[in-house]
Copies of this chain bind each other. A is one copy, B any other.
């Protein structure tokens, strides 16, 4: 097992030409199974592994996928990152994470540098970057394929993979409504992207169900604070009102956890006095008490779909939009609404 056997070494040992070895390695057909076996034996004996750089140079492929993501360490992002790594590996590709904190400043230039340097075969855009026009333009200009995860704006602008957010919000609305909740508060994120959109979708679903517009209250949170803090702040605001909502939706599980934390601490019982729902089905959802009723999106599946879109050539400029089903996960944070109070 020499320190690094080359293709030629394998060829010599197997008594064939380099090209034949290459064929076997790349799984091309038109190789007699007998020679193929001989080559495979030689490969095994020498512990041969193709040299990525050489292969890249010859094929002008990079075998690299980029993941452009903000600097956020919560469940959703982590899950998306690791699922993407796995999805790439399944196809013999490698994933490089390009973290871009601040789209405003020189970060965009630095992203451009990296994109041109790495020659990614495709790029996955994580929200809210999937809605960032500057990044979209950059990619278009560089002619790099990309797929947008859960975009909320610029429809038909590139391939995308989303979960069925509308369906999720519908499920949540039905669930809360059926429990008798009529005063519902929505904590969403400000800006133009999925999390922000969730509030609208939930409101629409509730209105359609017959909920009074005035009984739906929404609070837009900013990105400065952690979702947990934001949740606490929202709870503080909402629960100090004379007329309190009987249920609160948090744009993410972390926010919902913040709401619960604040409520418990101030003597409310959940779900007796307040129902809380989240989004993501993160590990937190099961870890806190009471465990969170929430919506699960199939992140691993979404990552796999994204890589597939990148790899499989799109049919003649057709924009492809994959939508994955979501699931309502019922847990202990929701219960019957108590008879209305002042």
Interfacial residues, chain A to chain B (CB-CB below 8 A): 3, 47, 49-54, 56-57, 62, 71, 73-75, 78-79, 81-82, 85-86, 94-97, 99, 113, 116-119, 143, 225-226, 228-229, 232, 258, 261-262, 264-265, 283-284, 286-289
Residue of B nearest to A62 (CB): B53
* B283 and A226 within 8 A (CB): yes
Smallest CB separation, A274 vs chain B (Å) = 14
* B50 and A283 within 8 A (CB): no
Q: Which of B47, B258, B264, B284 contacts A228 (CB 8 A)?
A: B284
The CA-CA distance from A47 to B283 in the complex, in Å, is: 45
* B143 and A52 within 8 A (CB): no
* A57: chain B residues within 8 A (beta carbon): 51, 53-54, 57
Asked whether A53 and B50 contact (CB < 8 A) given A96-B96, A97-B85, A283-B226, the answer is no
Smallest CB separation, A66 vs chain B (Å) = 10
Give me 20 other A-B pairs in contact (C-beta within 8 A), A3-B143, A52-B117, A261-B288 excluded. A49-B116, A50-B117, A51-B57, A51-B119, A52-B56, A52-B118, A52-B119, A53-B62, A53-B119, A82-B99, A85-B99, A94-B96, A94-B118, A95-B96, A97-B97, A226-B283, A228-B288, A232-B289, A261-B289, A264-B264
The CA-CA distance from A9 to B6 in the complex, in Å, is: 31
* A232: chain B residues within 8 A (beta carbon): 287, 289
* A265: chain B residues within 8 A (beta carbon): 264, 289
* A119: chain B residues within 8 A (beta carbon): 51-53
Q: Which of B74, B86, B117, B261 contacts A261 (CB 8 A)?
A: B261
* A289: chain B residues within 8 A (beta carbon): 232, 261-262, 265
* A54: chain B residues within 8 A (beta carbon): 53, 57
Residue of B nearest to A258 (CB): B287
The CA-CA distance from A287 to B3 in the complex, in Å, is: 51
The CA-CA distance from A56 to B56 in the complex, in Å, is: 10
* A50: chain B residues within 8 A (beta carbon): 117
Smallest CB separation, A93 vs chain B (Å) = 11
The CA-CA distance from A261 to B225 in the complex, in Å, is: 20
CB pairs A–B below 8 angstroms (30 shown): A3-B143, A47-B116, A49-B113, A49-B116, A49-B117, A52-B53, A52-B56, A52-B62, A52-B118, A53-B53, A53-B56, A53-B62, A56-B56, A71-B82, A73-B74, A73-B75, A78-B78, A85-B99, A94-B118, A95-B96, A95-B97, A226-B283, A228-B283, A228-B284, A228-B287, A232-B287, A232-B289, A261-B261, A261-B288, A261-B289
Smallest CB separation, A120 vs chain B (Å) = 11
